[in-house]
Amino acid sequence: MFLQKLPSILPKHFNGICNVSPKRFSSHFTYTPDEKAPIAGPKVKMNMFQAINNALDISLQSDESAVLFGEDVAFGGVFRCSMNLQKKYGKERVFNTPLCEQGIAGFGIGIANTGSTAIAEIQFADYIFPAFDQIINEAAKCRYRSGNLFDCGSLTIRAPCGAVGHGALYHSQSPEAFFAHVPGLKVVIPRGPNKAKGLLLACVKDKDPCIIFEPKTLYRAAVEEVPEAPFESAIGQADILRPGNDVTLIAWGTQVHVMKEVADMAKAKFKVNCEVIDLVSILPWDKETVCNSVKKCGRVVIAHEAPLTSGFGAEIAATIQEECFLHLEAPVQRVTGWDTPFPHVFEPFYLPDKHRCLEAIRKVIEF
């Protein structure tokens, strides 16, 4: 538990843009902001934790029943997402809980059962497992098992996930696939500030329990012009970030930025146009956008940080072979973390970096 607190200070030292950081903290990706604003209107430059803070602020402002809680949330959260919110909304609405993830989840379900809005923070996705039973057996099944008499749809769980350069086994995991296997949940992952704000507001309003995994390396590294007004990003809808005709590249979270860079590299090196898709939503996921793209391109590379075996890429690949079999020009490639725990000093070798992704593109075009 002591260890759990350590990395809280690390992101502050972490720039995320490799060129200006010490070598040790160099990043495996180059963040690029969205080209299009989600809505019109005045905008403010925000990084991802500020955009999340803004979405939380809007949620607390617009819904008096809403409460925000978790470990160390009161002082602003170890990743600063709840900064100043206790000051603004009071200790009754923004508060610390004891250090107990299963309690946080159960407590949130109960709040949501009464119709009030519960926004729970799990400090790291790596520590969500004590809450697994509450999320899987209780939150996800509440509506179903009661014949729709009760539900906990007003529960949203936020958890920082993913590689951060130095997080090792217990501050780096991407556990989205575990939760993708659970009917009744919705699971989303933003790629930057705008998406984070839109998805978080959508999750809070959504009538089903939602988990939003926030790639922690983007909290500071990702900066965008974010509309001041509230807006929602559709859950279950993928975004085509770059259109192309030759190879479909599918990713989510931080990996989207790797894929965008890889698309440039593939264009330069292989003269191919890649279509880059941010899946955005893991459960439910946008089969239609993915399959339409694959039918057009015939070649596909899926990349995620989580391990290969039973990673969410497996689900996508299986669906692609089912739906797009005759359109495929090459076997579906998956570039992922290896089937090992997430290692500390070996992180550069573990991640599905741009070089491994580019190699996968070479394979599908040379097949």
> Among 250, 359, 263, 259, which residue's Cα sits nearest to residue 315?
250
Sign of CA dihedral 106, 190, 307, 142: positive
Active site annotation includes 315 = no
For residue 133, give the 3-state DSSP assignment: helix
> Candidates 14-22, 132-140, 289-297, 342-350 — which segment interacts with other proteins by CB under 8 A?
132-140
When binding is defined by CB under 8 A, the residue of 208, 214, 261, 275 that contacts other proteins is 208
Q: Tell me the CA distances in angstroms from 232 to 197, 204, 206, 325, one per residue in order.
A: 8, 10, 10, 34
Tokens of 260: 């965008």
Examine residue 108 and tell whether it contacts other proteins (CB under 8 A): yes
List the interface residues with other proteins, window 216-245 (CB under 8 A).
236
Within 243-346, residue ranges assigned H as helices are: 255-270, 287-297, 312-323
What is the length of the chain? 367
Examine residue 313 and tell whether it contacts other proteins (CB under 8 A): no
One character per residue 337-366, x = contact with other proteins (rule: CB under 8 A): ------------------------------
Angle at 296 between CA 292 and CA 300, to 5 degrees: 85
When binding is defined by CB under 8 A, the residue of 33, 130, 298, 341 that contacts other proteins is 130
When binding is defined by CB under 8 A, the residue of 30, 32, 65, 273 that contacts other proteins is 65
Identified catalytic residue from 28, 71, 101, 138:
101
Shortest reach from residue 296's CB to other proteins, in Å: 20
Active site annotation includes 327 = no
Identified catalytic residue from 71, 121, 138, 171:
171
When binding is defined by CB under 8 A, the residue of 113, 123, 173, 336 that contacts other proteins is 113
Pairing mode, strands 118-121 and 67-70: parallel
Contacts of 136 (CB under 8 A, 6+ apart): 179, 182
Shortest reach from residue 125's CB to other proteins, in Å: 19
Sign of CA dihedral 174, 20, 75, 45: negative
Residue 277 pairs in a beta bridge with: 240, 250
> Candidates 51-59, 145-153, 194-202, 245-253 — which segment interacts with other proteins by CB under 8 A?
145-153
When binding is defined by CB under 8 A, the residue of 121, 151, 176, 278 that contacts other proteins is 151
Distance CA 268, CA 323 (A): 31
Examine residue 284 and tell whether it contacts other proteins (CB under 8 A): yes
CB-CB neighbours of 34 under 10 Å: 18
Examine residue 106 and tell whether it contacts other proteins (CB under 8 A): yes
> Candidates 20-28, 77-85, 92-100, 262-270 — which segment interacts with other proteins by CB under 8 A?
92-100
| Torsion (CA) 202, 119, 34, 314 in degrees, nearest 10 | -80
Question: Which residue is listed with tokens 């996968």?
Answer: 360
Residues near other proteins (CB under 8 A) are: 65, 67, 92, 95, 97-98, 100, 102-103, 105-116, 118, 130, 133-134, 137-138, 141-151, 153, 183-184, 186, 207-208, 236, 284, 287-288
Catalytic residues: 101, 171
